Amino acid sequence: MAELLEEQRESWGTRSGFILAAIGSAVGLGNLWGFPYKLYSFGGGAFLIPYILALFVVGIPIMILEFSIGHYTQRAAPDAFKRGHKRFEIVGWWGIVLAFVIVTYYPVILAYCFSFLWYSIVGIFTGGELPWAGEGIEGVENAKVFFNETYLGKVDIADARFYLGSIRWNIVLPLAVTWAAMYFCIFRGVRLVGKIVWLTVPLPWLMLLILTVRGLTLEGSMQGLAYYLDPVWSELAKPVTWRYAFGQVFFSLSLAYGIMITYASFLHRKSDLNNNAGIISIADFGTSFVAGLAVFATLGGMAFVTQQAGHAVPVEKVAETGPSLAFVAFPYALAQLPYSAWFSFIFFFALVTLGIDSAFSMTEVIVASIVDKTGWRRSIVLPALTVVGFLLGLIYVTEGGFNWLGTIDGFVNGTWGITFMGLLECVVLGWLWRIGTLRRHANSRSDWKVGRWWNYLIRMVIPVALGALFFWQLFDDITGEGFLRTAEGEWILPSCVGLGIVVFVPVVAIILSILKGRSDIGDAHRPEQGLVVGGRFEGAVAFVGALAVTGLLVVCLTVPMGEGAKQVILWGSLVGGIAAMLLSNYVLDRHHTSTSQASWSARWAGILAAMDASAAIAMMLIGLAGEAKIEDTAAPIRDKLSGVSYVILGVVLLIIIGGLGWSFYRALSAGKDTGIQHPDEE
The footprint of ligand PFF (CB under 6 A) covers 25-26, 28-31, 99, 102, 251-252, 254, 257, 259, 358, 361-362
Rounded least distance, CB 659 to ligand PFF, Å: 19
Rounded least distance, CB 376 to ligand PFF, Å: 22
Check residue 236 and report its DSSP letter.
Answer: G
What is the rounded CA–CA span in Å between residue 306 and residue 309? 5
Rounded least distance, CB 561 to ligand PFF, Å: 43
Rounded least distance, CB 362 to ligand PFF, Å: 5
What is the rounded CA–CA span in Å between residue 421 and residue 424? 5
Closest CA to 225 of 651, 640, 637: 640
Rounded least distance, CB 483 to ligand PFF, Å: 24
Q: Which residues pair with 532 in a beta bridge?
A: 596
Rounded least distance, CB 26 to ligand PFF, Å: 5
* Residue 532: strand, helix, or coil: strand
> Which CB atom, from 254 or from 298, has the smaller least distance to ligand PFF?
254
What are the DSSP calls for 116-185, one per residue?
A: HHHHHHHHHHTTS--TT---HHHHHHHHHHIIIIIIT-PPPHHHHTT---SB-HHHHHHHHHHHHHHHHH
> Which CB atom, from 281 or from 573, has the smaller least distance to ligand PFF?
281
> Which CB atom, from 66 or from 538, has the smaller least distance to ligand PFF?
66
> Which CB atom, from 38 or from 83, has the smaller least distance to ligand PFF?
38
> Which CB atom, from 28 or from 535, has the smaller least distance to ligand PFF?
28
| DSSP run (H or E) holding 534 | strand 532-534
Rounded least distance, CB 16 to ligand PFF, Å: 20
What is the rounded CA–CA span in Å between residue 605 and residue 585? 9
What are the DSSP calls for 23-49, one per residue?
A: HHHHSSHIIIIIHHHHHHHTTGGGGHH
> Which CB atom, from 88 or from 285, has the smaller least distance to ligand PFF?
285
CA 281 to chain centre: 11
Rounded least distance, CB 30 to ligand PFF, Å: 2
In terms of C-beta density within 10 A (0-12 exposed, 13-18 middle, 19 or more buried), how is residue 560 classed?
Answer: exposed
Residue 387 CB contacts under 8 Å (≥ 6 apart), including other chains: none
Strand-strand pairing, 532-534 and 596-598: parallel
Rounded least distance, CB 637 to ligand PFF, Å: 32
> Which CB atom, from 350 or from 598, has the smaller least distance to ligand PFF?
350
Largest interatomic CA distance in the chain: 81
> Which CB atom, from 93 or from 251, has the smaller least distance to ligand PFF?
251
Q: Which residues pair with 84 in a beta bridge?
A: none
Rounded least distance, CB 413 to ligand PFF, Å: 8
What is the rounded CA–CA span in Å between residue 241 and residue 239? 5
What is the rounded CA–CA span in Å between residue 601 and residue 541? 9
> Which CB atom, from 146 or from 330, has the smaller least distance to ligand PFF?
330
> Which CB atom, from 31 or from 321, has the smaller least distance to ligand PFF?
31
Other beta carbons within 10 Å of 572: 15
